[in-house]
A and B are shown apart, each in its own frame.
Chain A
Amino acid sequence: MLKIFRGGVNTPHRKNTEESKTLVMDIPSRVIIPMVQHIGAPCTPTVKKGDLVKVGQVIGNSEAYVSAPVHASVSGTVTRVEPMLYASGKQVMSVEIQTDGNQDVDENIQPPVIHSRDDFLKALRNSGLVGLGGAGFPTHVKLNPPKDKSIEYLIINGAECEPYITSDYRELMENAHGVIKGIQLVLDMLGIPKAIIGVEDNKPKAIQLLTEKAAADNRISVKTLHSRYPQGAEKTLIYTVTGRKVPAGGKLPADVGCIVLNVNSVSFIASYIETGMPLIHKRVTVDGPVIKRPQNVLVPIGTSLRDLIDFCGGFQEKPFKILMGGPMMGIAQYSLDTSVIKNTNAILAFDKKEGDLPSESACIRCGRCVDACPMHLIPSDLNRLVMAGKYDELGAYHILDCIECGSCSYVCPAKRYLVQSIRIGKDAVRKNAKKA
């Protein structure tokens, strides 16, 4: 029996690219690398216009603990250091590099020397690794929970529950060995007794492969997960894998003895410890009805969406909407000049049919949003209160527990903009709390 979480929705899978072996992209003529690719303090550029940079060289760093350095993904000349358009739609300090095509590697790059847990965490910070599955939380912080929390489970997130995206799946299929190696490293270095790899049951080949690879290490097990969105959300994943519930109200997985890492993050740890090459490229699923050649591509970080899509044969017809990320939580882009960053896992291009907005009608109180909410909220009530401007009442309806997965809007037969309004409400509640 598969353990299931209450709520969620059955989204279509549309894993069109699951058999697409990762192609390594040609080096684009220029890259734009933002100084913010993670949750935490932004980096400050450590290079200036005219500097020559090499592959793997640090080009941005920060003194803050919760942050991760940014590296050059190409060799070439720095041509601009200024705020530029970022995936969120805002302007963010970025470094533009004109590539020279040589891909000269920085001489300082060598495998890190690790004698202790602290060395390991320091190495992770230097690697630039942040959560590659979504939010981009710096991994060295995640792997260093408060001393009083003992961690029993390392959970590897291979759910990949968003439609279209197969970049985690390809990592499992192409580098299962690296995934297992990364897990073993983390278990050894942090003294965690057990690791569980969670994979949705729509990826039977990956489950089989991992089960074989993990057989030699009895600390590691593979858990088949029911394919249901948002299975890969941290809280639902921890629940289905261990039966534990991360307490509401800003508590962390470590509070229930768990740490969750994405499959790509954990295998990167293995490759970094072996080679010392920091995080400079990312596997991205490029798909959607208007992409000529949907495929998985290993992309230098900082590559523009335009260059990436050109590499995939361009558009078959005029795109209507471009997403960075999946259709459930991805961010719509208004320009193709934004760059692929560390936690980009997909670029999807939709036509009008797929991307257009439905028109909203009256709530009929059918309760489907209530049944779909994995956090057990009442999206329809939150929507009503936000639209009426009754921000004071949102707290009693636990608005801050919303994980913005979008299941409510997905199922709503009246096509109401539920999670969209809840985001506005969360913002208002946070601002009010700051004032008080």
Chain B
Amino acid sequence: MENRLFVSSSPHLRENASTRKIMLDVIIALLPAVVAGIWFFGMRAALVIIVTVAAAVLTEYLMRLGLKREQTVSDLSAVVTGLLLALNLPPSIPIWIAIVGSVIAIALIKQLFGGLGQNFMNPALGARVMLVVAWAGRMTTWTDPVTDAVATATPLGALKEGTLQSFSYSELFWGNIAGCIGETSAFAILLGCAWLLARKVITWRIPVFFVGTVALLTWVLGPDGLFTGDPLYHILAGGLMLGAVFMATDYVTNPITRKGRIIFAIGCGVLTSLFRLYGNMPEGVSFAIILMNIVTPLIDRHTVPVSFGGERHVE
């Protein structure tokens, strides 16, 4: 017995990568947005973030315990979900609603469908959308980062009301505007994006095709006729940057092939633009991504690549 050799099927060498390391990279990439959120919205934002993350992790732990499954808290995916949810909440959100959101994300959307890798929509966005539907008022009460008072409008809200240009590009870029905790600073999100790209956690395709599609459509379908839109405003305002960099790139809920991911990103861009321009709510990034999450299996099925040297498979 002592001298037995170990036998397994090749390969016998694995890259030094792990799910946990990927999640850790996402957490690091989210830190600039977290810092920006706390900077602009104060300790209240910090409280929301801490509680949401803690609730997500606790829910994950209890669900795995209850379902008698192996513990997966250490893969850090629940931390990522908690962070993403918190960054998608208004800073003034009642704490108990934030907790409900974490429970919906982890228990309902993630664990009941089988845990990591099995959920059919992004847990944080799914939870956000449910909260918006359930508590529309609370979810759209915004804080002015300068005065700390209840804000009159978000940049996209202002656009919907027809009071365009009340925000400068520089305000939109740095993020001292009303909005969800993590969505206002394009700068912070770009820093995170650079980290994700450098660490090869994501590729440029989804963010670029998503944002590019929105830019093109909002420019073409402008308020005063064709080609009169303000694409830069649309890029910087609202949740587009956060959604394109962190939510649409969620591995589990987007297609697995390059081509599939491009189709997915363009779909997100088209839906976001349509919701923003013609919907009755100012913002549509969350709904757009979730709808595309749902058609992901369909995209996957129709984008099976041709093998090297092969011809398209005929059914």
Interface residues, chain A, with chain B CB atoms under 8 Å away = 6-7, 9, 11-12, 89, 163, 235, 239, 245-249, 251, 318-323, 325, 327-336, 350, 352, 354-358, 361-368, 370-371, 374-378, 380-381, 396-398, 401, 404, 406, 409-415, 417, 419-420, 423
- Chain B nearest CB from A372 CB (Å) reads 9
B10's contact among A365, A366, A377, A406, by CB below 8 Å, is which?
A406
Assembly CA distance A398 to B312 (angstroms): 10
- 14 A-B residue pairs with Cβ-Cβ distance under 8 Å, sorted by A, are A239-B308, A249-B310, A318-B3, A319-B5, A320-B5, A354-B12, A361-B72, A361-B75, A366-B251, A367-B257, A368-B17, A374-B308, A396-B315, A398-B307
CB distance from B70 to the nearest CB of A (A): 9
Determine the distance from Cα of A367 to Cα of B18 in the docked complex, in whole angstroms. 13
Chain A contacts for B308, CB-based, 8 A: 6-7, 235, 239, 245, 248, 374-376, 401
Find the residue from B5, B17, B115, B254 having the highest chain A CB count within 10 A.
B5
B220 interfacial by beta-carbon distance below 8 Å: no
Determine the chain A residues whose CB is within 8 A of the CB of B15 once the complex forms.
9, 410-413
A420–B12 CA distance with the chains assembled, in angstroms: 11
Find out whether the CB atom of B118 lies under 8 angstroms from the CB atom of A362. Answer: yes
Nearest-CB distance from B123 to chain A (Å)? 13
A356: chain B residues at CB < 8 Å are 6
A366 CB contacts on chain B under 8 angstroms: 22, 251
Taking CB atoms, residues of chain A closer than 8 Å to B5 are 319-322, 332-336
Q: Given A245-B309, A248-B309, A411-B17, does the pair A327, B11 have CB atoms closer than 8 Å?
A: yes
Minimum-distance CB pairs A-B, first 3:
A406-B11, A248-B310, A327-B13
In the assembled complex, which residues on chain A have CB atoms less than 8 Å from the CB atom of B21? 413
Closest to A244 in B: B309
CB contact under 8 A between A321 and B7, given known A235-B309, A375-B307, A401-B307: yes
Is B251 a contact of A410 with CB atoms below 8 Å? no
Answer yes or no: B147 CB below 8 A from chain A CBs: no
A356 to B14, CA, bound (A): 10
**Residue from B9, B11, B77, B254 with most neighbouring chain A CB atoms (10 Å):** B11
The reply to whether A414 and B19 form a contact with Cβ atoms under 8 Å apart is: yes
Residue of B nearest to A423 (CB): B9
CB of A318, distance to nearest CB on chain B (Å):
8
Bitwise interface map of B from 34 to 67 toward A, beta carbon under 8 Å scored 1, else 0: 0000000000000000000000000000000000
* A-side contacts of B223, CB under 8 Å: none
B304 contacts the other chain (Cβ, under 8 Å)? yes
Cβ of B73 within 8 Å of any chain A Cβ, yes or no, is no
CB-CB < 8 A to A364: which residues of B? 19, 22, 77, 116-117, 251-252
Grouping DSSP codes into helix (H, G, I), strand (E, B) and loop, the A interface class, with mixed when no group exceeds half, is loop
**Could you say which of B10, B13, B19, B309 contacts A11, with CB atoms under 8 Å apart?**
B13
CA distance A327 to B22 in the complex (A): 25
* Bound Cα distance from A196 to B96, whole angstroms: 70
Hey, what's the 0/1 contact readout for B79-117 against A, CB within 8 Å counting as 1? 000000000000000000000000000000000000111
A249 cross-chain contacts in B, Cβ below 8 A: 310
B313 at the interface (CB under 8 A from A): yes
Inter-subunit contact A417/B9 (CB<8 Å): yes
A89 to B306, CA, bound (A): 35
Picked from B7, B117, B258, B315, the residue with its CB within 8 Å of the CB of A362 is B117
Chain B hits for A413, CB < 8 A: 15, 17-19, 21-22
Closest-by-CB residue of B relative to A323 is B12
Of residues 236 through 278 on chain B, the ones whose CB sits less than 8 Å from some CB of chain A are 251-252, 254, 256-258, 261
In the assembled complex, how far is the CB of residue A51 from the closest CB belonging to chain B, in whole angstroms? Answer: 33
